[in-house]
Structure 1
Amino acid sequence: MTSSLVRGRPRHATAHIRVRVAHALVGAVAGAGWLAIPVLAVQEPATAAPPAHSAPEDPGDSPSPGESSAVDLILPVAVLGTAGVLIAYTHVRRSRRPSRAPGVVSAAPPAATPAESERQVREALVQADDSVRASEEELPFAAAVVDGPALAPFRRAVQAARTEVSAAFGLWHRYEEGEPADPGDRTRALVAVVGRCAEAGRLLDASAGELDRLRWNDVRHPLEVAEETFRRLGARAAGTRATALALRERYGPSVGARATGCAEEAMDRLVFTTAQLNEARRAADSGDDGRAVRQLRCAEGAMAQAGILVAGVDRLARRLLEAAALVPAALTGAEAVLAADTPAPSGADATLAAVRTELTAGPYDPLDALRRITRALVRLPGARSGVLDTAADLVARAAAGEAEDYVAVHRGAAGADSRSLLAAAVRTLAEGHPVEAAVLARRALELAERDVRAHGIPESGTGGTAGAALGGVLLGEEPDGGPPAAFGGPETRGRLRTGTD
């Protein structure tokens, strides 16, 4: 049986032993050679000419020829021995190189595998997108205490960073679609994505310190602004609950569930905001400005997300009204297109018949009805004109808006894939392809919802902290949720961990 000591020894341990032996031999022979030099210097006659006044040496004192030749051989033999050991040592060193001995681990770090490189790219995309989103959320609060001209450079920095991130998502989306195909070009594409993300972060990091200087000269003014914003938002959020109930009654349970979910999350963020504002006020009154700034930024981030959720419900209500008004005309237009274009796409007739039945069967989702109508005719030329084109555009804007809101308030869990598809949906809609954009946006929402389920839904009774971490209001780096996300890139966005003096 193999000894446990042997089993525990690394495979290259024997190579290390050989090197140690070679080191010892080199030291021993070199030491012997150097020790022999003084002896030889004593035994051999001086080579320098004797002084003029010295007496001639007695021939009897000179060494015999045999003795002289033996002494003369000592130093050359020592040198040759040392050289031989050095040659052996060099051979051992070369034999340990990875290029000469397969299986030996190199001291240099190995190149990242494609899977590892892709994982790093996903992390860079999420971090850069989070940084831009948090910076965008802070600017409206900064605008309440900083005048427009002074705030303009920060708006430009955010816009430039957003442009870099959008380009990075575009490169990543093409990469996932298989472009480019050449392995070398694909590697360079990943490098370009990371470079774009790094540039976005650099732009925001470079501006973070100056924004702090402008914002936090006197924390009491921003605190008063936040408290007033909270009061207005609280009144709106209370109305959102009533709106959600009305949507459920008019358009059915699926629409009502979406609106109710947004209303409940908005209230969760506001519960968190209440606690943070109270702590910020106590800190400011006690003179602890650093803690006041930290808690105030927590409150501002939560209010920004509550505002997104409340506005999302209001926008959904308006778009449902608009869609409900369009459905009859879109259905009639679609039936006319099918009658004029033959053969009809598979299943198109059945889809239109199902939608017409829903119009008289009770509450239904008009946005979903328009989505099915426009998708059924997407390949027909007549689908891109008149009311059908208007319907497709409305569906795409609604889908992209819903996905955008969901990612924004769940960015602590939403991954790179959902964000990439969302960015692709926005680009596709801008290029004039609403039906395709709606498909991408719906898929982005599905992936984001999957990410949230995998992350875990916050439980009630946490004071909103878990929801704030899920939303990315808190960076989630510590048991209490970590520091608030502040304006800045990866290097500066968590700078309020211990407060700002």
Structure 2
Amino acid sequence: MTSSLVRGRPRHATAHIRVRVAHALVGAVAGAGWLAIPVVAAQEPATASPPRTAALAAPAAPRDDEPSAVDLILPVAVLGTAGVVAAYSYVRRGRRSSGVVSAAPAAPTPAESERGARAALVQADDSVRASEEELPFAAALLDERTLAPFRHAIHTARTELSAAFALWHRYEEGEPHDPGDRGQALAGVVGRCAEAGRVLDARAGELDRLRWAEAGPAPAVAVAEGAFRRLTARAAGARATVSELRERYGPTVGARVAECVEEAMDRLVFATARLNEARRAADLGEEARSIRQLRAAEGSVAQAGILVAGVDRTARRLREAAALVPAALTGAEAVLAEARATGTPVPSGADDALAAVRQELTAGPYDPLDALRRITRALVRLPGARSGVLDTAAHLVARATTGEAEDFVAVHRGAVGADPRSLLAAAVRTLAAPHPVEGAVLARRALELAERDVRAHGVPESDAQGTSGAVLGGVLLGEEADGGPPVAFGGPQTRRRFRTG
């Protein structure tokens, strides 16, 4: 295992090591030179000692063509030392000219790490949502046993994403406090998102093989056309529902559901054009183009289905709420009376909130879900507020608010950022706790932030083919002139695989 100290050693530390090595070489050469003098001298040819009388005579001159090895030591040592000094100078010049550069990239700042975590959350959430949207179209042609690995992959990815959102939510609330631990929390968010994407990426190619390789796109086009026709009939019924809700519950409720129907029709207009292109390309044998157009149509049909189902669900919950408001109001007044009798502090403004709701009951059309929301929030801190009819009302409001926020994020994911998605995930966790009033508050805040993101992004004007709405909804990725490639089952590495060319 590589030591963390070695892995984290900066570049300038390596430069210092080179300098120390050069110093050592200089010393080694100098020392070797001094040590070589006696060694070379000892290797000179031995001669017999002359008689003492001969030693008094003049020494014999050496031969010109046999230089002594001792005479070569000093030049060799000088040349070696000069070479080492030159190498040392080269290292020093390189160090000065290049400056001190870290081998590893600079550590990201906390702000950069936060931006990276936000981007990872959005990308992972988009990948999971797009994968969930495609699977029903595959299920129309494949048996449940074949689909099981893909359902498992989506479940695993959703679990990882939920854990990432939980980490991010705690981080946003200031936990943990230690800067190092906060950095680790952000790394955990990014790691969980990466794992969610990896699980989906691993299955993308296999799903393509099952959907397209054997029969081609023609059967899948027929499935999408059938879903489109059924949804078109439901959308026409939703228009009638809008008129009924507006008349019964007032203009505010009517405007909210009418907007959903209009967006659903916009998605269906887009799906019409893309289905026609997919059918034409399939008939011509242009499978790649047919698949690209078909995936765009499938995504748009799926989002239109979310919007139409949301209108039907809202109508059903409004009826439930309208039937529940009188009993909830009576129960809330009883809880207040009991609190006063036992000396329990009563929340400020509770009496005014109940009086306003009671007045609305006799003043004409009103929003019953909003009335229940105000009743349950006014008494949330009192012990009796979490039992009986008030608890039922709180759960109904929480489910309705969370469903509305979920639908809005799903069909506007091309513009919605990480914060609304995180609050929505927190609302779902809180509902499971269960804490319905707190969950409804979180879901309502998520919806408000998501709507703010869409306004900041800019609501596109309706175009002839609905392409702008498809980009806003994340059906198209907006990377090319025609709106870009459609999203597909998969994670970050595969969800864009249906690009042109």
- Cα pair 1:279 1:295 within 8 Å, conserved: yes
- Cα pair 1:97 1:106 within 8 Å, conserved: no
Calculate the TM-score normalised by the size of structure 1.
Answer: 0.84
Who is 1:3 aligned against? Answer: none
- Cα drift, residue 226 of structure 1: 0.9
What is the aligned-residue RMSD (CA, Å)? Answer: 2.5
Aligned equivalent of 2:325, options 310, 318, 327: 327
Residue 259 of structure 2 corresponds to residue 261 of structure 1: yes
Who is 1:302 aligned against? Answer: 300
Q: Which is further off, 469-478 or 379-388?
A: 469-478
Calculate the TM-score normalised by the size of structure 2.
Answer: 0.84
Q: How many Å separate the matches in 1 of 2:95 and 2:148? A: 61
Who is 2:432 aligned against? Answer: 430
Residue 227 of structure 2 corresponds to residue 229 of structure 1: yes
Residues 59 and 432 of structure 1: CA distance in aligned 2, closer, same or farther (over 3 Å): closer
Aligned equivalent of 1:275, options 269, 273, 293: 273
Who is 1:467 aligned against? Answer: 469
Who is 2:80 aligned against? Answer: 79
Aligned length: 443
Q: How many Å separate the matches in 2 of 1:107 and 1:213? A: 43
Residue 132 of structure 2 corresponds to residue 136 of structure 1: yes
Aligned equivalent of 1:362, options 353, 361, 364: 364
Residue 64 of structure 2 corresponds to residue 61 of structure 1: yes
Identity among equivalent pairs (%): 73
Q: How many Å separate the matches in 1 of 2:211 and 2:316? A: 36
Partner of 2:105: helix, strand, or coil?
coil
- Cα pair 1:173 1:421 within 8 Å, conserved: yes
Who is 2:419 aligned against? Answer: 417
- Cα pair 1:474 1:482 within 8 Å, conserved: yes
CA offset digits 1:260-281 (Å, max 9, x no partner): 1100000000000000000001
Q: Which runs of 5+ in 1 are unaligned?
A: 1-18, 20-25, 27-46, 50-56, 99-103
CA offset digits 1:184-217 (Å, max 9, x no partner): 2222211211111111111111111111111112
Residues 215 and 347 of structure 1: CA distance in aligned 2, closer, same or farther (over 3 Å): same
Q: In structure 1, what residue type is equivalent to 2:85? A: G
Q: Which is further off, 462-471 or 368-377?
A: 462-471
- Cα drift, residue 95 of structure 1: 6.5
Which residues in structure 2 correspond to 1:46-125 (within 5 Å)?
Answer: 59=62, 61=64, 73-91=74-92, 106=102, 108-125=104-121
- Cα drift, residue 314 of structure 1: 0.6
Partner of 2:266: helix, strand, or coil?
helix
- Cα pair 1:127 1:490 within 8 Å, conserved: yes
Q: How many Å separate the matches in 2 of 1:346 and 1:82? A: 89
Q: How many Å separate the matches in 2 of 1:289 and 1:465? A: 22
CA offset digits 1:312-355 (Å, max 9, x no partner): 00100010111111111111111111111033110101111111
Q: In structure 2, what residue type is equivalent to 1:334? A: A
Residues 160 and 60 of structure 1: CA distance in aligned 2, closer, same or farther (over 3 Å): closer
- Cα pair 2:423 2:445 within 8 Å, conserved: yes
Partner of 1:61: helix, strand, or coil?
coil
Residue 181 of structure 2 corresponds to residue 185 of structure 1: yes
- Cα pair 1:223 1:281 within 8 Å, conserved: yes
Q: How many Å separate the matches in 2 of 1:444 and 1:143? A: 32
Residue 163 of structure 2 corresponds to residue 167 of structure 1: yes
